[in-house]
Chains A and B, each alone.
Chain A
Amino acid sequence: MKGSPRTDRNSKSSEKTTINVTDGTLIPLKDEGSLLTSWNIAFFGAIFLLILLPILSPDPYLRILSFVPDGLIATFSVTLVSIFFALLIGLFAGLGRISQKLFINRIATVYVEVIRGIPLLVQLFYIYYALGPLLRLKGPAAAILAMSICYGAYMAEIFRAGMQAIPRGQMEAALALGMSRSMAMRKIIIPQTIRIILPPIGNEFIALLKDSSLVSILAVSDLLRRGREYASTSFRYFESYTIIALIYLVMTLFFSRLVAMMEERLRHRGKVH
């Protein structure tokens, strides 16, 4: 490539060892064929306990189980709506991060830096209490707003990294065929990006599902809050929080497997017809 002496300094790649640790549950690899994988032990162990405990001692376990489904619905609603808006914000902020227009680039970058520098719990307090008199949002709406804004910043970095991982030649080939930059983005770059970013987005989804438990402090009756309500009236703290923990565990492990399966399918598309 004669045209780009600019990239020469990258060619001396330092041979640093990098490790890859995510804050989601581990997305299982498919080739772990054995029944005794860590995923199987954790997932089926949790389900086993969730069935066994109510059978062995219906009071309080069965009572707890019948008390929390409302909370489950709230947890899922908050998570799904938040992830939807976070993806939307993330896509545009991610595009902003790679924009050649300085002004847009700065706005997107400052947003990402500021939001990622503030803990989610503080952001929840800020939107619900500090901006409460201004926004006048109810608990669930404030929770969704705060989580969307927060996770949007993380999603933006995933979108940015994903789009930057597409070789420059792809954009050049699209432009050389007469496509506009935005058409090339839509037809060439973003479809390829999605395949790359699906696993990290799945991870963010799982992390968001777990973080949604933070909204229980904003008077949202989510899974954790329902468990707390039961515990505080029955004084059965150990039993209540055991059930809550097991339910969260089953959910996150289930979704991590789902993400792994989706990733596998996307990987194979393009290799076999």
Chain B
Amino acid sequence: MEKYIEIVDAVKTFGSVQALRGVNLTVKKGEVVLIIGPSGSGKSTLLRSVNRLERLDSGRILIDGESVTDPNSDIRHIREEVGMVFQSFNLFPHLSVLDNISLAPVSVLKKHKDEAIEIAKKLLAKVGLSDKEKAWPEQLSGGQQQRVAIARALAMNPKVMLFDEPTSALDPEMIKEVLDVMTELAREGMTMLVVSHEMGFARAAAHRIIFMDAGQIIEEAPPETFFTSPREERTRKFLEHIL
């Protein structure tokens, strides 16, 4: 399989905190990679660097051969092809569910309004929320909001999806409905980079688990071996905490 995302020597500092200290990571097309690690380990920063919501201090990131980190590259065009789902959903509260999903296809991709609405309806059906087309975000539960947020990202027809702790803000009973949608996406062959501690999802859908600590990748392995026989002491300690 071809390399799709290439992260080379990524370094990022916030004030005195070194969030990333030389991270190297390659994600292949269709691969689902899960990043875990203690808070402050730099995993979210790494994810947010992939669509340049954070700018690296040094190092480079390529998506499908296009540089994200080069200041001269057309970052807006790259972002069109990189969907992102946030911990806090970030739906647009002044727009209906349908408008949340169809806004970017219409205003960024210049799609015809009717076509964008048609796509939005299909995506809502896909995430199981056909009855919520006309609802406002604040009328939805957290799980429903996150599924709309996934549909909104998918409406841009992205080639890769980034998930930044998509279930951390959800009540336990809503986590499954979001993970089901993500698992379905993984099964369809979407390239996914996921920051999450959901072990169920890891086992069901991830091809590879990355463990990060203190701004570095400590260990990476397929889920079976990662959970049963981690090599590193730090990984073992961390797994004891979350399993």
Distance between A7 CB and nearest chain B CB, rounded to angstroms: 10
| Residue B43 CB within 8 A of the other chain | yes
B94 contact set on A, CB distance < 8 A: 191-192, 195, 270
A270 in contact with B84 given A2-B39, A5-B17, A177-B104 (CB within 8 Å): no
Complex: how many Å from CA A177 to CA B44? 18
Q: How large is the interface on B (under 10, 10 to 19, 20 to 34, 35 or more residues)?
A: 35 or more
B15, B51, B82: the one contacting A5 at CB < 8 Å is B15
Distance between A166 CB and nearest chain B CB, rounded to angstroms: 9
CB<8 Å pairs between A and B, sample of 26: A1-B44, A1-B87, A2-B39, A2-B43, A3-B45, A4-B14, A167-B90, A170-B90, A172-B90, A173-B84, A173-B90, A173-B149, A175-B79, A176-B51, A176-B53, A176-B82, A177-B103, A178-B77, A178-B79, A178-B80, A183-B107, A187-B103, A192-B93, A192-B94, A270-B136, A273-B134
Distance between A71 CB and nearest chain B CB, rounded to angstroms: 41
| Residue A164 CB within 8 A of the other chain | no
Query: Nearest CB to that of B149 among chain A residues?
Result: A173
Distance between A34 CB and nearest chain B CB, rounded to angstroms: 31
Q: A173-B91, A177-B156, A178-B77 are in contact. List 5 more A-B contacts (CB 8 A).
A: A3-B19, A169-B90, A176-B53, A177-B108, A183-B108
A residues whose Cβ falls under 8 Å from a Cβ of B: 1-6, 167, 169-170, 172-180, 183, 187-188, 191-192, 195, 270-271, 273
Distance between B74 CB and nearest chain A CB, rounded to angstroms: 10
A4, A178, A273: the one contacting B104 at CB < 8 Å is A178
| Residue B88 CB within 8 A of the other chain | yes
Summarize A's interface: helix, strand, loop or mixed.
helix
- Proximity bits, B66-87, A CB within 8 Å = 1, else 0: 0000000000110110111011
Complex: how many Å from CA A4 to CA B42? 10
Count of A-B contacts judged by CB separation below 8 Å: 92
B residues whose Cβ falls under 8 Å from a Cβ of A: 14-15, 17, 19, 39-45, 48, 51, 53-54, 76-77, 79-80, 82-84, 86-88, 90-94, 103-104, 107-109, 134-136, 138-139, 149, 152-153, 156
B87 contact set on A, CB distance < 8 A: 1
Complex: how many Å from CA A3 to CA B107? 29
Distance between B136 CB and nearest chain A CB, rounded to angstroms: 5
Q: Are B53 and A2 in contact (CB-based, < 8 A)?
A: no
Q: Are A180 and B76 in contact (CB-based, < 8 A)?
A: yes
Distance between B82 CB and nearest chain A CB, rounded to angstroms: 7
Distance between B96 CB and nearest chain A CB, rounded to angstroms: 8
Distance between B207 CB and nearest chain A CB, rounded to angstroms: 23
Distance between B50 CB and nearest chain A CB, rounded to angstroms: 10
Complex: how many Å from CA A114 to CA B41? 45
Query: Nearest CB to that of B162 among chain A residues?
Result: A176
A2, A192, A195: the one contacting B40 at CB < 8 Å is A2
Query: Nearest CB to that of A191 among chain B residues?
Result: B94
A270 contact set on B, CB distance < 8 A: 93-94, 136, 138
